[in-house]
Amino acid sequence: MVVTFKSSNVVKPATPTWTGRVSLSEWDQIGTITHVPTVYFYKPSPKWLSQSNAVINNLKDSLSHALVPFYPLAGRLHWIGRGRLELECNAMGVTLTEADSESKLEDLGDLPSPEHQYLIPNVDYTVPLHELPLLLVQLTIFQCGGISLGLRISHAVVDGKSALQFTSEWARISRGEPLGTLPFLDRKVLRAGDPPLARPQFDHAEFGLPPLLLGELSNAEERKKKTTLAMLRLTKIQVEKLKNMANKGRSIHSGRGYTRYETLTGHVWRSACKARRHKPEQPSALGVCVDSRGRMQPPLPDGYFGNASLDVIAVSQAGELLSKPLGYAASKIREAIETVTNEYVISAIDFLKNQPDLTRFQDIHARGGAEGPFYGNPNIAVVSWLTLPIHGLDFGWGEEIYMGPGTHEYFDGDSLLLPSPNEDGSVILAICLQVAHMEAFKKCFYEDILSNSLQA
């Protein structure tokens, strides 16, 4: 794909906003602190075919106004020592780039495509962190008149729920509508900047090193292996079959049945173990991302704008996962999720506040290096967007025809569950695995559903 860049603009808040430095919560400073890429595609519209500058001008104006209530996104991050960050609200602005492509939307073929990388802004992490915008946007206009909107937003400032709140409100402004929910910007509700209260109340295995391949002393070699990304779709019928498999044999006294997330994630975990040909005694950890907003006492305020998710882990041996029914894997996942209580979150915050340095918990140090979190072979992490409003982003020219994650900066073991855009009950798994394991994973992923259906 040939993409020609026409202009790059720094967009600042439309009116003066508060300036100064604010402390970030512990959740903001661990895990993914790089920029998360997403891309939206829109069909051609007569509105912008006749007015070539209408789209970019509308985006600039609405983005400028959206940055007034969401002014932290117009700021910059600063390292303050010991692997810790602060956010400077200085209205430096975000980047909006306009580009043209000689291709047509239909030229992209199956989505996602490796060519997505040309449609999403690049972030140069060799540049000092305090010089990097927290939000970068790229509008690409195709020869057919269709467009794509590529976004990169800093995960050190927002999690998925907050990022979607921002894009949704930006779209409302673009359509000429008032804000729906104001962002709640006070991170003190998660004790941002406060000293630890005490020693952690719980052990926090999620902050330790995940299991290694048997016989290995580090994951250095696994980090180097080439990876690839796949998007795998499960129909509503296949999802229901998996749920039935997971809940088979559960009595009415066993409590609520396993959820769609618990079921699908258990299936992904088992399929990965089988595809990687783990020995029965191989330990494997599954990373689970849990939103703590409604688990705190009291719950976090509506519109809390920041990171409020805690990663916990389920651990089992590959032999147990594969020899026992799917319900076993689902039960391990539920146990991990249910540990996330108000007390557990407070304890985890204290654990991190007591750390002399947060570097080993941050993904920015895993880029081409041996530091930072890594949930590759023999482990896996499954993040769910199943309940997030990721579809229907309308800036005034209609809803997108496709929305998906970026394709080229994921690590082995990273995976994401997405709802189908047409709301037909199907689910899409975006998963990154080593090239050597991907085809086997696809085979296991689908054949296990079929074989169990035949047995039933």
- Give the strands of the sheet with 76-79, arranged side by side: 20-23, 85-89, 76-79
Query: Any catalytic annotation for residue 311?
Result: no
* Cβ pair 326, 304 in contact under 8 A: no
* Neighbouring residues of 81: CB distance < 8 A, sequence distance ≥ 6: none
| Spatial contact of 142 and 148, defined as CB atoms under 8 Å apart | yes
Total Cβ atoms within 10 A of residue 207: 18
In whole angstroms, give the CA distance from residue 103 to residue 33: 33
DSSP 3-state assignment of 267?
Answer: helix
Among candidate residues 61, 100, 107, 394, the one labeled active-site is 394
Cα–Cα distance for residue pair 404/326, rounded to 1 Å: 28
Task: Return d(Cα 177, Cα 172) in angstroms, integer.
Answer: 5
Task: Pick the catalytic residue from 65, 116, 155, 204.
Answer: 155
Distance of CA 25 to the CA centre of its chain: 18
**Please, what's the largest Cα pairwise distance for the chain?**
65
- Name the residue among 430, 102, 157, 48 with its Cα closest to residue 268: 430
Encode burial over 287-316: b for 16+ CB neighbours within 10 A, e otherwise: bbbbbbeebbeeebeebbbbbbbbbbbbeb
Find the Cα–Cα–Cα–Cα dihedral 233, 237, 243, 248, rounded to 10°. -140
Residue 164's φ and ψ, nearest 5 degrees, are -70, -30
Radius of gyration over every alpha carbon of the chain, rounded to an integer in angstroms: 22
* 155 given a catalytic annotation: yes
Pairing mode of beta strands 283-291, 380-384: parallel
Do residues 258 and 281 make contact, with C-beta atoms less than 8 angstroms apart? no
Which residues are catalytic, by number?
A: 155, 394
